Amino acid sequence: MCIIHPLASVQSNNIGENTMIWQYAIILNGAKIGKNCNINCHTFIENDVIIGDEVTIKAGVYLWDGVRLGNKVFIGPNVSFTNDKYPRSKQYPSQFQITSIEEGVSIGAAAIIMGGITIGAYAMIAAGALVNKSVPGRALMMGSPAIIKGWMNEDGTKMRQTGDNTFEDKYGNTWFFKNNQLVPA
């Protein structure tokens, strides 16, 4: 059973067990939300949104049609998503952009995530970053536009750089950057 604050407006029946939905959250009928999630106050979730298990969505986040969040994703306060490459008032695309946020991603406060991209597993997006292209898994992204500033362990700690394109995870394993992604040696 999920727990819904009496001041939330929840139209969806597709919400997993032990999910908490706080006051002033609005969730439309078609939204799918996994188990053990925490949906903070002042959030809006449109119809064509899929949210995995154990996801945290902080206050002031609006998830528009086409947003897909994997398991264990953290969305910080006031993160902005887009889903229409050429927005105009009262003119809608035949299909909204799909934005995929893979497992274990953390997105810092007030980051902007452009539509139609994928953020790879365990990546970390810094507060205030503007992400306008797909992000490889485990990348630490900072700036506007965001660029890679390092590589992350699954627990959110930064890998240690050991050479020009080599990194060491917290277990002492070596990784290297190849074909625009970080791969184990």
Nearest Cα residue to 59 out of 79, 73, 29, 45: 79
Q: pLDDT, tens digit, for every residue of 113-157?
A: 999 999 999 999 999 999 999 999 999 999 999 999 999 999 999
What is the C-alpha separation between 48 and 65, in angstroms, rounded?
Answer: 4
Q: What is the mean pLDDT of the chain?
A: 96
pLDDT of 177: 85
Is the overall model pTM greater than 0.85, yes or no?
Answer: yes
Q: Which two tokens stand for residue 124?
A: 């970390």
Q: pLDDT, tens digit, for every residue of 58-67?
A: 999 999 999 9
Q: pLDDT, tens digit, for every residue of 91-100?
A: 999 999 999 9
pLDDT of 164: 87
What is the C-alpha separation between 79 and 109, in angstroms, rounded?
Answer: 6
**Confidence check: pLDDT of 178 > 90:** no
The domain locations on the chain are: 3-156
Q: pLDDT, tens digit, for every residue of 69-113?
A: 999 999 999 999 999 999 999 999 999 999 999 999 999 999 999
The Cβ of residue 40 has, within 10 Å, a number of other Cβ atoms equal to 19
Q: 3-156 is classed in which CATH architecture?
A: 3 Solenoid (2.160)
